[in-house]
Amino acid sequence: MRVAIAIAIAAAFALALAACAEERSPRCEEVCQREADCAETLADDEIVVNKSECVKVCTELDRDPEGAKLTAAHVQCVAAARDCRSVFDCR
């Protein structure tokens, strides 16, 4: 019985680790990089972008069908932005 419980716990732990190591969305990587670069370029204390956190949240949102629509619209907006100020006008 103890062995079965230990195996179940090990399996759950392995699944949790696999979930943490899931691949991040390439479009999220790209948009978050642009936002981070623009935040650095503008050097505005009110604009702070933590790229890794941005990618994590964006990727989670991108996995949801409704969230993916929002992500796609945001990615398009950032890609079309003429300058860094315009990047941060995107919603």
Q: Which tens digit of pLDDT belongs to each residue from 24-41?
A: 889 999 999 999 999 999
Q: Are 24 and 55 in contact (CB under 8 A)?
A: yes
How many Å apart are CA 72 and CA 36, to the nearest integer?
18
Q: Is the pLDDT of residue 91 over 90?
A: no
Whole-number Å distance between alpha carbons of 65 and 13? 27
pLDDT in tens, 57-72: 999 999 999 999 999 9
Q: Which residues contact 41 (CB under 8 A, 6 or more apart)?
A: 84
pTM flag (> 0.85): no
Contact yes or no for 54/36 (Cβ under 8 A): yes
Q: What is the per-residue pLDDT for 23?
A: 80
| Domain residue ranges of the chain, discontinuous segments joined by + | 24-87
Q: Max alpha carbon distance in the chain (Å)?
A: 63
pLDDT in tens, 10-27: 444 444 444 554 688 899
